[in-house]
Chains A and B, each alone.
Chain A
Amino acid sequence: DGGITQSPKYLFRKEGQNVTLSCEQNLNHDAMYWYRQDPGQGLRLIYYSQIVNDFQKGDIAEGYSVSREKKESFPLTVTSAQKNPTAFYLCASSNPYRGRGGYTFGSGTRLTVV
């Protein structure tokens, strides 16, 4: 079955360390997205990519970096520059130009800074 996989489900990081969250999809979707969810703040867009080797900053990109070397993969690195990294991170994919373009979400990664 096609889907989108995020790993790990739970991640703990020491302050000052970089950490990379994995996101892989086998839906043949062109676009991929990273969102962050905090209590009471909904889903906020970190980065998105419409095609391989290209990506754009979202609303809260500071302290994060991404790469899109393969269509299937869109890893997110949370750097030590991110001041409040503890959050629930969601990856999504879509085909903006085909069908209704709705997102398919992964199951999320809970990142906690200790």
Chain B
Amino acid sequence: DQQVKQNSPSLSVQEGRISILNCDYTNSMFDYFLWYKKYPAEGPTFLISISSIKDKNEDGRFTVFLNKSAKHLSLHIVPSQPGDSAVYFCAARGNAGGTSYGKLTFGQGTILTVHP
């Protein structure tokens, strides 16, 4: 059962335009959401996060929106740049106690290509 889903395997955007990456989740116990960016043959790097008590978090060109009622989050990149071309993973953290606490569940990833 895929608890975190990124339904778009890929997204192509023109430089300067907005990129919107989407993520849906099913587990209402998730309390924290994160976006990671990954280049080929490298490990993912943290991009931006949001707590479940908020609905928006901004960091420069990157904004994450959380709609708890719809169990949906999105990452907006404005303006998009060719260097943003990478795989983007959304992740969710469960707040259950014990040995599972802090474990992240990842989506399948979305390949973003920004054309010059």
A: which residues have CB within 8 A of B? Answer: 4, 6, 31, 33, 35, 40-43, 45, 48, 50, 54, 56, 88, 90, 92, 94-97, 100-108, 110
Contact = CB atoms under 8 A, between A and B. Distances in A.
Interface residues of B, number: 26
21 contacts: A42-B106, A43-B89, A43-B109, A45-B105, A50-B101, A50-B102, A54-B99, A90-B44, A92-B43, A94-B102, A96-B103, A97-B101, A100-B32, A100-B34, A102-B49, A102-B104, A103-B91, A105-B44, A106-B43, A107-B42, A110-B41
Interface in B5-56: 6, 9, 32, 34, 36, 41-46, 49
A65 B6 CA distance: 29
A56 B99 contact: yes
B34 to A, nearest CB: 6
B108 A90 contact: no
Interface of B: 6, 9, 32, 34, 36, 41-46, 49, 89, 91, 93, 99-109
A96 B89 contact: no
Contacts of B41: 88, 107-108, 110
A31 B32 contact: no
Nearest to B110: A42
